[in-house]
Chain A
């Protein structure tokens, strides 16, 4: 145990031999993967390969049948989403976590407001506005003003605010992004790509990106894991592979599955 900790101390998340079945259907058949500090790991795989089951296990929505999860060096068992969150695992599902009617800074500070006046809990809007501005500048998110309601922002800007909200959570270590570039134009997408890279490089955030679109994965990630039939079948760094190789690999494994099935 101590040896493992010494050799793999750079991992913020390790998953070993996770299995999960739903009745007769085996969704995960011994998944093993790891996520390093400041790393962006892309998770790809066809529909039903087990991606979303794995994500739901990491976020505490499902409990695995067997296998182990380590956050840092600590073995964990999540029984709820809140428990995963307490270990610093945050998820951004599109921009659903925003309140359209509230300003950018109120969204960023929702339920963690700066207040004055003790029990009356008056909002310290000036301080929140200032801190929101500074934080967004720090992670290089450019929006017209932190005062506008988020409903006035574009899709990419909203997504950026949703990510910023998640990364501002105290103790946040691992961010799960579910199709972060879905339904975005090139300009909007580049906003998010820059944000993800900046968070990883400059702020030490580790990210797990789930996406169907291989181009997006290549733009966002440092490393790719392919999940097929409940197992990780490919684990390569971006510089060691190519879009062609990945596509080829997916087609081959798909044909293999057809023959097996």
Chain B
């Protein structure tokens, strides 16, 4: 995956020297950062074998809540904190409906994403507004050219460590890999799931705030659902399985870089923007087919070794 990413970057730099300029680096960053944060957010739920479609809705709604709170006199920083808590609460609701009422998360979050986008349209009357606050805070939270990408990379590092080096990360993989085994071992599977939904939603809300300052305006018609799917695509291309048990934060970050570089490279080369969608679609298909083939190959090798134990034993000892 990373080989493909580097190859793409080298290709675009050689094909179009403009690709390597500083101003383009900031453009690429603005493509990569949102996809990366959403991809990282989705990896935690995808590894559980779940999905969160509503994160796109939280993304659109969050900056509006900041503005509404600020309008009632709440200081911007406090408004952002409250908004992020609301995002966490939405994630908890997704998680609880999925875990307690046993509604598949695809359906749960399909419901909440429409509801959230409805709330945005109703409350804003469909009118575009400006983000709350400016100055240093806005610069740190997405205003400065490189602030979003630095946040994204920082989140990637923190989540990678969480995922690979802590018991919580191990329990996510265990829950997604074999729910029965995980709960038999005493892992509180429901708590793990709800926490991951909350984390995913929190990141969606945070990205919404970042993007409001990066873009400089809030558009109630923003297509959060499509952006969310870019995140899922980056995660899947990076090697996370939708079936659960297998996920990688670094892979998701690299997947996001590949998608962002592709989009920007296509723009610079003057290729029709529609072609990007085509390539994206084919890339997802290729990644998924490869994933499934690898899985099949693995399980064939395993069942093969069970049927013919003598043969593999000799093979192993030789």
Chain A residues close to B by CB (< 8 Å): 96-102, 106, 110-113, 115, 120-123, 144, 151-152, 154-156, 183-188
Contacts and interface: CB of A to CB of B under 8 A. Distances in A.
Contact of B174 (A110, A112, A115, A151): A110
A154 B305 contact: yes
A113 B171 CA distance: 10
Given A99-B177, A100-B177, A155 B306 contact: yes
A188 B306 CA distance: 9
A155 B305 contact: yes
Contact of B170 (A96, A98, A123, A183): A123
A177 to B, nearest CB: 16
Summarize A's interface: helix, strand, loop or mixed. loop
B310 A98 contact: no
B167 A96 contact: no
Contact of B167 (A99, A123, A144): A123
A99 B176 CA distance: 9
A121 B167 contact: yes
Contacts of B316: 144
Contacts of B125: none
A166 B185 CA distance: 10
Contacts of A101: 173, 176-177, 245-246
B165 A123 contact: yes
A186 B306 contact: no
Interface in B290-318: 298-299, 302, 305-306, 308-310, 312-313, 316
Contact of B310 (A99, A121, A152, A187): A187
Interface residues of B, number: 31
A99 B302 contact: no
B283 interface: no
A187 B177 CA distance: 29
B185 A110 contact: yes
A110 B187 contact: yes
Contact of B171 (A111, A151, A188): A111
A207 B272 CA distance: 70
A186 B314 CA distance: 13
Interface of B: 165-168, 170-171, 173-174, 176-178, 180-182, 184-187, 245-246, 298-299, 302, 305-306, 308-310, 312-313, 316
15 contacts: A99-B173, A99-B177, A100-B177, A101-B246, A102-B170, A106-B170, A110-B181, A110-B187, A111-B174, A122-B165, A123-B170, A151-B299, A151-B302, A154-B305, A156-B309
Nearest to B184: A97
Contacts of B177: 99-102
A123 B174 CA distance: 14
Contacts of B246: 101
Contacts of A120: 166
Contacts of B186: 111
A110 B310 contact: no
Contacts of B310: 185-187
A154 B245 contact: no
Nearest to A95: B181
B178 A100 contact: yes
Contacts of B312: 154
Contact of B178 (A99, A122, A154, A155): A99
Given A99-B177, A154-B309, A184-B309, A113 B302 contact: no
Residue of A156, A185, A187 with most partner-chain B CB within 10 A: A185
Nearest to A143: B316
Contact of A96 (B173, B181, B298): B181
A112 B187 CA distance: 10
B309 A96 contact: no
A155 B170 CA distance: 24
B298 A151 contact: yes
A185 B298 contact: no
A120 B316 CA distance: 39
Given A102-B173, A102-B174, A154-B306, 13 more contacts: A101-B173, A102-B177, A110-B181, A110-B185, A110-B187, A111-B187, A113-B167, A113-B170, A121-B167, A152-B302, A154-B309, A154-B313, A155-B305
A112 B173 CA distance: 15
A185 to B, nearest CB: 3
Contacts of B184: 97
B108 to A, nearest CB: 25
Given A106-B170, A122-B165, A123-B166, A185 B178 contact: no
Contacts of A151: 298-299, 302
Contacts of A187: 309-310, 313
Q: Which 8 A-B pairs have CB atoms at the shortest separation, nearest pair first?
A: A185-B309, A111-B185, A99-B177, A101-B177, A155-B306, A101-B245, A110-B185, A121-B167
